[in-house]
A = this chain, B = another copy of it.
Amino acid sequence: MRIALLGGTGDIGKGLALRWAHDTDHELVIGSRNPENARNKAAEYTAEIEARGADTKITGFENGMAADRAEVIVLAVPAYHIADTVEEVSDSLTQGDVLISPATGMKRDEEGFHYHRPGAGSVTKLVVDAAPDGVAVVGAFHNLAAGRLGDLDTELGIDTLLISDDDSAKSTVGSLAEEIEGLRTLDAGGVANAAEVESLTPLLINLGMNNDSISDPGVRFQ
């Protein structure tokens, strides 16, 4: 399968690209608004995987061209850019494509990070509202600490939660996620349940800030 990572030059995009490149045979397309940045990062990730003795195919393109080349598109951009990014690439999306929304809205005060719930109800719902007809949306990968995800020497051993109103797309993303070693998926229900999933991200950051015993914490439900 071809997976595009829009905003794939950022931390979470990098982490997912490296993990998929290392653990699977999927073809990865790094997207960025600046195609040169995308190509540079694709080369950097390729070098890191090849240094580990593995083969991989990672290319880099401007976001729209990246989306055009893939069937699954991860929106690895900040929440406040996510609807614009979907609109920007909408001509490149075709019926049956799957958009993955890993973003969450946060604000910070002196005490820590807090979920900043969009008026639409959740960031996932923002993406649903912006997506063209026939393009499915799945919320996933919200709760992966980027530092840990991007360090291939660190075992994950954590869960990621899936949110979607489209069971087939949810199953596709679930399979892709579980091909990453040490990552388990759990079904968190439909898009109406997205806010509770997105709220977990600021909580994880607050726990990392307040406890020396855990850093870059992930979560395991048991």
Contact B209 A189 (CB under 8 A): yes
Interface size on A, residues (CB 8 A): 39
Give CA–CA (A198, B190) in the complex, Å: 20
Q: Which residues of B contact A157 (CB under 8 A)?
A: 222
Q: CB < 8 Å: which of B115, B192, B207 contacts A186?
A: B207
Give CA–CA (A219, B158) in the complex, Å: 11
> Residue-by-residue, is A184-218 near B (CB-CB < 8 Å gives 1, otherwise 0)?
00111111110111011011101101110110011
A153 at the interface (CB under 8 A from B): no
CB nearest to A111 among chain B residues: B192
A154 CB to closest chain B CB (Å) equals 11
Majority DSSP secondary structure for residues of A touching B? mixed
Contact A222 B211 (CB under 8 A): no
Contact B189 A111 (CB under 8 A): yes
Give CA–CA (A111, B190) in the complex, Å: 6
Q: Which residues of B contact A192 (CB under 8 A)?
A: 109-112, 114
CB nearest to A158 among chain B residues: B222
A112, A113, A196, A222: residue with the most chain B Cβ atoms closer than 10 Å: A196
Give CA–CA (A222, B221) in the complex, Å: 11
A70 at the interface (CB under 8 A from B): no
Contact B189 A204 (CB under 8 A): no
> Residue-by-residue, is A174-188 near B (CB-CB < 8 Å gives 1, otherwise 0)?
000000000000111
Contact B115 A199 (CB under 8 A): yes
Q: Which residues of B contact A202 (CB under 8 A)?
A: 196
A57 at the interface (CB under 8 A from B): no
Q: 16 A-B residue contacts at CB 8 Å?
A: A109-B192, A112-B189, A112-B193, A112-B196, A114-B193, A114-B195, A186-B213, A193-B203, A193-B206, A199-B199, A199-B203, A200-B200, A214-B222, A217-B222, A219-B219, A219-B222
**The 5 residue pairs across chains A and B that have the minimum distance between CB atoms:** A111-B192, A196-B203, A187-B210, A199-B199, A111-B190
Besides the known contacts A111-B193, A193-B206, A196-B206, 4 further A-B residue pairs in the complex with CB atoms under 8 A apart? A112-B190, A186-B211, A199-B199, A207-B221
